[in-house]
């Protein structure tokens, strides 16, 4: 049975990734996402079952609609592979059982937030707020003595980044971090506890710097006023600390 649960998670992961990609591409208009038929954005043709197989369909069709030849958003492939990576890392690095399912839930939620922020520059409250509540609730169920640490982590995470947001706006006269980033850090504190927040912020800053350097390496010119989504780096940092723990164990 344990092996069966592992395989179920791995098999389901690309399909969950496909759903997450649709959420990201259709944000903020999510009407019909759950029950609407998938169509080509260019020609409007309803896609058949063989065109909806995660990863395989994209590769077989070479990233183009089989009817009109219009390019398919690469986010589909990227997010589907990301969802598989979440499942594989959870299978390899968590104890299994209920922890595996909870870990995948967290990882896929972070992936959805990262994908939406990368495409739109927004982190929807509809995902961050439940993530905060769920993190504190699960901590209270798993270890009631540590629930306060997770509640403090949620509050501290929001306050830290909200203060940075206000200070940056006051000093520079324009927005830097958004309150969506503050809410995502609050979710990280809710799941990891306040002791992990320094590690999350450090990892996020390092990952963000790597993203920027990678963009420059492939020829993108960056200017001081350019807006760069910080949510993907922050989401990945939370996931890394969840899997490996903070730099200084509590």
pLDDT average, residue stretch 29-42:
67
pLDDT tens for residues 190-216? 999 999 999 999 999 999 999 888 888
In this prediction, residue 225 has a pLDDT band, given cuts at 50, 70 and 90, of low
Contacts 24+ apart (CB under 8 A), 102-105: 102/138, 103/242, 103/243, 104/9, 104/13, 105/134
Mean pLDDT of the chain: 88
pLDDT at 84 over 90: yes
pLDDT at 28 over 70: yes
Token pair for residue 11? 């098999």
Distances (CA, A) of 125 to 134, 165, 203: 14, 17, 23
Residues ≥6 apart with Cβ < 8 Å to 30: 23
Name the 3-class secondary structure at 239: helix
Specify the pLDDT at position 80: 97
Q: Which of these, 165, 127, 102, lies nearest to 28 by C-alpha position?
A: 127
> Does pTM surpass 0.75?
yes
Name the 3-class secondary structure at 105: helix
Token pair for residue 83? 């969802």
Domain spans in the chain, listed from the N-terminal domain onward = 1-104, 121-250
pLDDT tens for residues 43-82? 777 777 777 789 988 888 888 877 787 888 889 999 999 9
Specify the pLDDT at position 31: 62
In this prediction, residue 35 has a pLDDT band, given cuts at 50, 70 and 90, of low
Specify the pLDDT at position 32: 61
In this prediction, residue 2 has a pLDDT band, given cuts at 50, 70 and 90, of low
Specify the pLDDT at position 217: 85
pLDDT at 100 over 90: yes
Task: Report DSSP state, residue 144.
Answer: G
pLDDT at 21 over 90: yes
Distances (CA, A) of 52 to 37, 61, 187: 11, 11, 32
pLDDT tens for residues 123-180? 999 999 999 999 999 999 999 999 999 999 999 999 999 998 888 787 777 777 788 9
Specify the pLDDT at position 81: 97
């Amino acid at each position: 049975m344990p092996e069966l649960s592992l395989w179920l998670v791995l098999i389901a992961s690309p399909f969950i990734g496909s759903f997450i990609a649709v959420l990201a591409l259709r944000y903020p208009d999510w009407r019909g996402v759950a029950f609407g038929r998938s169509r080509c954005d260019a020609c409007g043709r309803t896609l058949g079952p063989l065109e909806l197989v995660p990863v395989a369909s994209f590769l077989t069709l070479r990233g183009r609609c089989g009817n009109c030849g219009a390019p398919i958003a690469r986010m589909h492939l990227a997010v589907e592979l990301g969802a598989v990576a979440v499942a594989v890392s959870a299978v390899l690095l968590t104890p299994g059982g209920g922890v595996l399912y909870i870990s995948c839930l967290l990882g896929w939620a972070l992936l959805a937030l990262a994908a939406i922020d990368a495409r739109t520059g927004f982190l929807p409250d509809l995902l961050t707020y439940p993530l905060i509540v769920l993190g504190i609730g699960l901590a209270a169920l798993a270890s009631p003595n540590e629930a306060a640490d997770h509640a403090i982590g949620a509050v501290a995470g929001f306050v830290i980044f909200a203060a940075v947001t206000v200070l940056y706006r006051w000093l520079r006269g324009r927005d830097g971090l958004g309150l969506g980033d503050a809410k995502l850090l609050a979710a990280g504190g809710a799941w990891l506890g306040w002791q992990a927040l320094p590690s999350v912020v450090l990892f996020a800053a390092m990952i963000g710097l790597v993203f920027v350097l990678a963009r420059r390496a492939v020829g993108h010119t960056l200017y001081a006023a350019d807006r760069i989504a910080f949510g993907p780096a922050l989401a990945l940092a939370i996931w890394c600390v969840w899997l490996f723990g903070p730099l200084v164990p509590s």
